[in-house]
Amino acid sequence: MYKQFIIATALLFSTHALAQKQALLVGISNYGGDPRNDLMGIDLDINKMKQLFVNWGFTPTVLYNEKSLQIKNYLNRYANSLSANDTFALYYTGHGSFVPDRNNDEADGRDEALVLSDGVRNIPFIDDNLNHYLNAIKAKKLIIFDSCHSGTANRGNISSSIRVKSLPSDELNAPLSKGLKVGKEIEGGDYIVLSASEDSEESLATTNGSLFTNEMYRLLNSQKSLESIKEEATYNIVSYAKRANEKPYHPQFTFSNPSFKGISINSYLKTSYTTPTHRQTQEQTLQSQLDKMVQNSPSITISNQQNRYHTGDFVNFRLNTHNKQGYLTILFVEKSDVTVLYPNPKASSHLVQGVYDFPKDFGNFRVKAVKKCNGCQLDKTSIYIMLTPQPLANIANMTHNKLLSFAKGSNMAKIMSKDAVLVFDESDKNSHESGLMMGKHEFFVD
């Protein structure tokens, strides 16, 4: 018995000793074409993140400039060498762009892409294709993208100390081959995806490094939750962009398990998690369920929005269903409360399709920004927009006579969560034909 215990213990420790942590860092500063395509500070990005991964116990591999074209070979190696007990990290800093969507999986008709380069050719690595390689890697994953995909042509002066990290599509050569949406279709275990900006926004590189990377380097090694890190990084990036007369942008965090937003990155890298089962998913909070739906559903585009309001300001934004038809439900989620903004006593639900200004196009009502936290500098509010083939029954029945508001942990929140699960499960069966679309807009109130 004693010998068996020694053998079992030895096997246990050898298994943990053999568990690998591998990090692939890809950075491009030297691009082909217009000299203004080049990016400054990328070497600083790579050095900072390499040190961060070493601190976390990873073995880092760097593909810089022309070596970035070897990314597929390295991803294949990790797919062949890493198991479910291992951890894999991918960090990318460089330009992003877009190409026309060729398999009709994007609501806006565009595929996002990372732009690799040997200094002559600028070659897009499409998100569909990247996801194919990531799915083949069985390890737990941490993915960090510091790029943007707006395809802007606004590159600034060659002497400028700030550059937009996006190339217009006419600067691209033939793309790498196609194959699932990063953060939406990753399979094979737990993952966290940290992205610098929304698809339509422009992230920035400076002579001191890229803004998003600088924030991640500063914040990720703390014990702060990922949700707190996102809020702090967003606030600092928006503030910097405004001071520099640049367009603000907003980091996007995506999780295989919504509960990951409440833990630190150190906890994620040291702890084994499993994706929730169907039954566990039904028991999640309403906001967690909505976040999962946002991650896994076609997107309602939100534009013309502010990202910071003073208390008492009126909230306005534009939404686009991209010609999908359905019924809207719009929820206002604050620190502890949920309010149904639409439908409401002044505006009943009806079929919509296309572009609308909210609330102007939905009835004679207005929405005020309110800060509910005591003594805090900023209060975060999230607006969720859901397009469903039929009106949500419980919402339609309870919003005729009054504006519906309830606590996050209330029975009504549980009912709404079950409604959301039913809609989400139905969409899972036929996601692109079901009519389910989701949008999310976050802002701060001071």
Whether 122 and 180 map to the same domain: the answer is yes
Answer yes or no: is 1 within a domain: no
At 100, is the pLDDT very low, low, confident or very high (cuts 50, 70, 90)? low
Answer yes or no: is 282 within a domain: no
Answer yes or no: is 295 within a domain: yes
- Region 327-335: mean pLDDT is 81
Answer yes or no: is 241 within a domain: yes
Whether 407 and 383 map to the same domain: the answer is yes
Whether 61 and 206 map to the same domain: the answer is yes
What are the structure tokens assigned to 373, written together?
Answer: 């936290």
Answer yes or no: is 12 within a domain: no
How many domains does the chain divide into? 2
Whether 132 and 257 map to the same domain: the answer is yes
Cβ-based neighbours of 358, under 8 Å, separated by 6 or more: 316, 317, 318, 319, 330, 342
Answer yes or no: is 281 within a domain: no
For residues 16 and 342, which has the higher predicted lDDT (pLDDT)?
Answer: 342
pLDDT tens digits for 226-281?
Answer: 999 999 988 888 888 788 777 777 888 988 888 898 999 999 998 655 544 443 44
Domain C-terminal end among 275, 297, 314: 275
What residues make up the domain containing 117?
A: 17-275
CB 398, CB 404: distance < 8 Å: yes
Answer yes or no: is 280 within a domain: no
Instruction: Return the CATH number at 112.
Output: 3.40.50.1460
Q: Please state which of the ranges 106-115, 141-150, 196-205, 270-279 shows the lowest mean pLDDT.
A: 270-279
Answer yes or no: is 9 within a domain: no
Whether 202 and 303 map to the same domain: the answer is no
Q: What is the 3-state secondary structure (H, E, C) of 348-412?
A: CCCEEEEEEEECHHHCCCCCECCCCCCCCCCEEEEEEEEEECCCCHHHHHHCCCCCCEEECCCHH
pLDDT tens digits for 187-231?
Answer: 557 899 998 887 666 667 677 888 889 989 999 988 899 999 999
Whether 196 and 336 map to the same domain: the answer is no
pLDDT at res. 157? 36
Residue 169 has pLDDT above 50, yes or no: no
- Region 325-350: mean pLDDT is 80
Whether 312 and 163 map to the same domain: the answer is no
